[in-house]
Structure formats: C-alpha cells, structure tokens
Amino acid sequence: MPSEARDKVVENSVSRQAEELAAKSAEAHGAQTKSRQVRSLSEEIITPAPQTTNDAPAPAVGTARVDFVADPEPVPQSGGFLCTFTLSRLGLVGLNKLAVYLNDLQDSGSIGGWQAKGWENAATKVRTLIGFANHADAIVAIKRAP
C-alpha cells in the first residue's frame, strides 16, 4: 500500500475515533449535567402556597368593617387616662389594627402618645386597655375611631 493511501486510511480511522470519543463525551457530559440538574432540583425546598380559607365572611360592597370600638369616656388612672377598646378581631390581630390607627394619630400630631396596658380579660382578648398621658389625647383617639 502506498504511503499516501495508508495515511488516508489512518486519517479516516483517527477521524472516526475522534468522532466516537466526542459523541461519548457529549453523552457523558449530558448525563452529568442532567444528573446535576436533577440533584439540584431535588435539593430545593419547595414550600406549598398557602391555602385560602373562607372562615370570615367578607363585608358587603359599600360597607366598611369596623376594626374596633372605643368606650365613650376615658377613665383617670395614675396620672393618665385609660381607654377601653373592643376589638372586632380578638387577640394580636385586632390589637395590631388598633396600634396602626393609634400610630397614625401620633404620626400626624393629633395625639402625643399612647401605651398598651393589657387586656381587660386575658382569656378572651377582645377588650384591650390603652393608656394616654392626657385627657385630650384620649378624647381624640375615641372621637376619631372609625
């Protein structure tokens, strides 16, 4: 066999081997990448979306839900005045709505400040006691209550 022909056969053989190696490498790399992707996905923490409930009926269109109601008069107590607010939502949810209202009054300069004093009845957590430094602040908080 002449050397040119032999070189062509060797070149073709090497070329085929290179293609086979490249194909095997691509398959192996693809399998590794896929394996990494599967591992990556299985390691992710999947949190389910919260389910909505319909425990409380929504207010009718055009009506506002009252979050709390204040007793009509503050009670003088140890250098300040104590107001009782009845919450429409018991516990911290209702207290938070009241706190937002009182903070808005304070931020606007309508009242000087306020302080949560606890629950009238800790078992029910429906009526909360709020302290004010002066009578005027207590009256503003009562009168502007929704």
Residue 53 lies in a domain: no
- Number of structural domains found in the chain: 2
Residue 54 lies in a domain: no
- Domain of residue 111, residue span: 68-143
Which backbone phi and psi does 90 adopt, to 5 degrees? -70, 160
Residue 18 lies in a domain: yes
Residue 4 lies in a domain: yes
Kindly report, residue by residue over 113-136, the tens digit of the pLDDT. 999 998 888 888 899 999 999 999
Residue 90 lies in a domain: yes
Who wins on pLDDT, 89 or 54?
Answer: 89
Could you tell me if 30 and 83 lie in one domain? no
Lowest mean pLDDT among 2-6, 8-12, 63-67: 8-12
Kindly report, residue by residue over 18-52, the tens digit of the pLDDT. 566 666 666 665 655 555 554 544 444 454 555 55
Please state the pTM of the whole predicted model: 0.54
Tokens 């022909």 belong to 5
Could you tell me if 36 and 73 lie in one domain? no
Distance, CA of 141 to CA of 68 (rounded, Å): 12
Dig out the tokens for 29 from the structure: 């790399």
Could you tell me if 89 and 133 lie in one domain? yes
Position 66 confidence tier, pLDDT thresholds 50, 70, 90: confident
Could you tell me if 75 and 133 lie in one domain? yes
**Contact between 112 and 91 (Cβ < 8 Å):** no
Task: Give Cβ neighbours of residue 105 (< 8 Å, ≥ 6 apart).
Answer: 111, 114, 140, 141, 144
Kindly report, residue by residue over 70-103, the tens digit of the pLDDT. 999 999 998 899 999 999 988 889 999 999 999 9
Residue 74 lies in a domain: yes
Could you tell me if 89 and 123 lie in one domain? yes
Could you tell me if 74 and 135 lie in one domain? yes
Could you tell me if 73 and 136 lie in one domain? yes
